[in-house]
Structure 1
């Protein structure tokens, strides 16, 4: 390859119509790929292999969007009226409240966008590229024209690629061409005028490998790819318009009508019944409207959801679409894959059975330390060697030293490849078997439809044989003989079926081995060649359950959440693992297999789906049927998946959960949540977090409404009865402003309540607060508002001037809300506990900030001028503090009454 290239050298016109050698020559590359230095220099020329981010709205537009709320409109209208009246102090105080709310929302929106951008980075694809003569995993964004990459089933093609090898390669190009059927690929060039859908020698960026294997040379990256020309990067972060925020929008519109209606009634009563001065009446009406508006609610919802997303990410549950935050809290059924999610995905061969003998295998994981021991009086012979040869040669996995060191200083062994193939490679290493000069001539890659893999191998002596491994039933039906002590003998199907059932009942996954000698002239294999095989034996492979997953399933059951295992394994294996995981108990347990599902109509499946917890030998189509059947009963279903074919089921589920480690890019894009550790225990944690987030939103709303209700009630009662106003409009705005930046945010940081995973899932839908909660809010509003009026009118009647009495009333209102905040920490149990002082330091930070701001309001001269307040004597703090304590206990009694009613 030439040491230096220009950008023009990296552009190939119609690579699909050129031969492989010609394309490689044009790109100054070959099948050995690029060196790291070449790749770096080319990356500087062509840029990163990324599509541009969507254009963002200007910052000023995004800021102004936070004023687009019905409740904020009332605030702005009130400010305009004040400006017309020449009351500029009140105008600026009202506008300050609206602006502070917008600033908080804008800042938090930016934080949420940064968090979600980080999530996009975590989900970015990697590619397997040939660099410096060896295969390496590199970020897809760093691929350049001339790179040689390889493709496996489920991979998302990372760039436009001219294929140089294709083994039964089929690619889903629906994202590009709209064709629903995967396109078959080959190496031969096509006509220069061929359309995109007919370019069978190309693999295009953004498409998904459905089956087979392939290699190719990257011809285009980034915006120069076919898909880059016709689409921009999708925004994967989702929208904040969750069902909950829609409920809040609806609630805001209803509240607006109520506030305006009550303000109008108040104006009429004050004017015609009490003949109040017009200017004073307008100020009172504006004060009432401002007091009644929970203007901090939109920002509060945004902050709570964003904090929840960040907390989930810290627990390895990456939320890609924010509606999932709410949906997770109401999940009633989790449908989970087995391998790697419920189990450790560290496959280990435990038993080998040949036509002659049985062998036990010692050792764990991918460390080749261990032995193969004959069972009984049997001796190690050629039968074992033949099975191990298939394990070693019909295999694409590699076991390498690497990773962190153990306490003894020995490096750990790591798997490069599939876990099952890793287990077979390790057992061959335990049998001290080596390739012995054998080379691979051809291959039929594993395919989910065939459930086997085959290779054509040539030995050191020039002889050739087809080696096959795969599902026992598939190999038995293609075998004519088995390897006996004296050579080939009749296949004993009955015995093998018994062996398979016995191993499966022990929770072992069973794979079979077979071979077929072929003439030395055979240089390729196809499916039709796999007939008349010689059956060699089976392996019994175990994938140990994750201990934390067993605990998580028990927690889900306690929380009223059903867990169903859906696996492609044998029914016996699935049932044995199900018992060990605690999914099923007792002897009379029903397992539905794929064949059973095929025999059931959808209506019949609906009748039994809730009673079956283990599904075996299933296909992706069966998963969709199971999800639909569960949803027909009103179940909220979370579905896990990792393969490209799982994407439809994840899309159909209420919450799609993709595996972050072994999951394909297609699955991650279809999911709402991605597990960074592929661990079922993380699902349990995510559900608990979803419940916590929803609890905190409800707590925040139940806290916020009475604070506004108390303020508006004080003004309403004074006007209706023709009394002196306990609060001016600017003093109401002061209380709103200081609580908005202190107390109202504290509950967003509230930890999960005790027993959050011992109660049943919440029901979805319905109003944001029900009738019982509305009654609770109104009573609390009366309690806090009554205490505030009691302080004002009591102090004023004692001969203190109005400004002093109003200052003490403001203090009473602020401290009353602080006391009520402690009540709201635990809505489902009593707050009269030491726990109310622990667990959320933001409570005390916000309380301290409120006290400091209230001291400034009371004692700083300029604040006395702006807000018509007066310094209070130390003794004047006693009554508000005592009444605040009384409010706390009154609300606790009220909570107990409502708990009993529920």
Structure 2
């Protein structure tokens, strides 16, 4: 316009004035408008009565919920209720289910009744007595190990005051509450109470158990090795105050315990059978220690903990020296039921084009059973179980076999996943992304985060991670949208996530309703701001042209700043 005036007069001032007049064409207020809109979207999500308890911890990404292509979810506590119910006790030759727990109770009662009486006068017990006594002692050792190997603390609530238990008889059973970081351990201790061996007291150095005859058994805690997601096991060394015996108890996942316990021919088979029923399986073992043997271990253990360099490695090495040739006592099976409306929620997400991946630390059979029950895998859908591979050639053959299958869900273990990602990362991710559903079992927290990162890099699409425990934090933080479920394993995942919900079924409304509406509203708001700027600039150009390209504003006041 200055050129049409032939640069007459103080033309450089005219250029500056026209730049100011047409600055509206740049929607500089778009960022502010979008930020204000996101605050409103977050407020609407928090005020939604259909998803009570939802917390928005990041108000900058609500519209990304409507663009999710991959949903990665944990199993325990996320898809399930994380309310464990003891279902099965397996001793190798005999198994006890819920309808036969009275037999376990009778075995426990007979053992402590016999101990309280004098030794029988007869020297030659019958064969039937020997068999019964042997089975009773086996059941007793298994229940005793379960009652001692844990991190559970009994707490008594009386008159509004909560006190640590001191194994005193005046405390009533109705006032006792078990507290632990894992619901699995609470379920196991509650079961031992139901069969007659009750945990009545615990502190940092001792535990007290009550027998069916109200006798208090005192145990000194010598060492405790807490559970970690990497080791997948926990152990405790206790001393029986009445006999002075030192025993090392350990429980953990079958994949790690198989190499620790003495050789047997039923562990792997029975673990698979229980896992196929959807039960969470733990292997319980023990090892009796002589006083000299424990003193030697304690000296090496203390020296390793005082080491300056490679302390963790040295401590683990010392502990592993004790984890050898342990006696296998039993298998425990605990059931974790699905949350309400998990099936319709997953079906809704699948119909919306969102691919769901389940990443769990459970056994392959347990994860597969849960995937079927939750309808993560439809009834008419085939399942390809990726067999265990240990080297590059085996991974190549298995990938070729999987490539020939179409429209089938993939189930893979963490060990096989590590080998495939090491040698055939691109090929594996290409095939996995074509699957309607993927189940990764025995996954470590590092592997969960790695899968999220690879999905983002290979597909370029948005991912959403859902979890409830501390092992899901890395996955949640790595994803584009992290959703934490407030569960019974603390609030680590909830506090680390962008959004916090109370139940998995709320995820459907969060993504399908609020995510989609936020995305559409942000798009409409962006179009409005841009078109408004274009309209104002166009009218200003027409106005200036009509009045001989005068640099006079059409709109006065604040409207000129957009």
Whether TM exceeds 0.5 here: the answer is yes
Q: In the alignment, which residue of structure 2 is the partner of 1:450?
A: 231
In 2, distance between residues paired with 1:651 and 1:690? 19
Residue 272 (structure 2) pairs with residue 501 (structure 1): yes
Q: Is the 8 A contact 1:555 1:684 kept in 2?
A: yes
Q: In the alignment, which residue of structure 2 is the partner of 1:142?
A: none
Task: Assess, with a 3 A threshold, how the Cα gap between structure 1 residues 456 and 412 changes in structure 2: closer, same or farther.
Answer: closer
In 2, distance between residues paired with 1:654 and 1:516? 47
**Matched ranges for 1:578-727 at <5 A:** 578-585=371-378, 586-589=381-384, 590-600=410-420, 601=423, 602-610=425-433, 611=435, 613-631=438-456, 632-640=458-466, 648-658=474-484, 671=496, 673-675=498-500, 677=502, 679-688=503-512, 689-714=514-539, 716-717=541-542, 720=545
Q: Is the 8 A contact 1:514 1:533 kept in 2?
A: yes
**Matched ranges for 1:192-341 at <5 A:** 265=1, 289=22, 296-313=29-46, 316=53, 318-341=55-78
Task: Assess, with a 3 A threshold, how the Cα gap between structure 1 residues 587 and 500 changes in structure 2: closer, same or farther.
Answer: farther
Q: In the alignment, which residue of structure 2 is the partner of 1:559?
A: 352
In 2, distance between residues paired with 1:352 and 1:701? 61
**Matched ranges for 1:5-16 at <5 A:** none
Q: For structure 2, which runs of at least 5 residues remain unmatched after alignment?
A: 108-131, 161-173, 199-208, 210-215, 298-318, 385-409
Residues 375-394 of structure 1: per-residue CA shift (max 9 Å, x gap)? 9xx99844333222122111
In 2, distance between residues paired with 1:285 and 1:455? 80
Residue 199 (structure 2) pairs with residue 431 (structure 1): no
Higher deviation after alignment, 444-453 or 379-388: 379-388
What is the TM-score with the length of structure 2 in the denominator? 0.66
Q: In the alignment, which residue of structure 2 is the partner of 1:420?
A: 184
In 2, distance between residues paired with 1:621 and 1:705? 43
3-state secondary structure, aligned to 2:81: coil
Structure 1 residue 613, shift from structure 2 partner:
1.0
Q: Is the 8 A contact 1:336 1:566 kept in 2?
A: yes
In 1, distance between residues paired with 2:540 and 2:459? 50
Q: Is the 8 A contact 1:304 1:697 kept in 2?
A: yes
What is the TM-score with the length of structure 1 in the denominator? 0.43
Structure 1 residue 666, shift from structure 2 partner:
7.8
Q: In the alignment, which residue of structure 1 is the partner of 2:261?
A: 479
Structure 1 residue 475, shift from structure 2 partner:
2.9
Task: Assess, with a 3 A threshold, how the Cα gap between structure 1 residues 294 and 444 changes in structure 2: closer, same or farther.
Answer: closer
Residues 144-194 of structure 1: per-residue CA shift (max 9 Å, x gap)? xxxxxxxxxxxxxxxxxxxxxxxxxxxxxxxxxxxxxxxxxxxxxxxxxxx
Structure 1 residue 477, shift from structure 2 partner:
2.8
In 2, distance between residues paired with 1:547 and 1:346? 13
Task: Assess, with a 3 A threshold, how the Cα gap between structure 1 residues 518 and 291 changes in structure 2: closer, same or farther.
Answer: closer
In 2, distance between residues paired with 1:474 and 1:287? 71
Larger Rg: 1
In 2, distance between residues paired with 1:593 and 1:570? 8
In 2, distance between residues paired with 1:501 and 1:540? 11
In 2, distance between residues paired with 1:453 and 1:336? 26
The number of residue pairs the alignment matches comes to 435
Structure 1 residue 569, shift from structure 2 partner:
0.7
Structure 1 residue 505, shift from structure 2 partner:
0.7
Structure 1 residue 289, shift from structure 2 partner:
4.3
Task: Assess, with a 3 A threshold, how the Cα gap between structure 1 residues 346 and 399 changes in structure 2: closer, same or farther.
Answer: farther
Q: In the alignment, which residue of structure 1 is the partner of 2:343?
A: 550
In 2, distance between residues paired with 1:475 and 1:290? 70
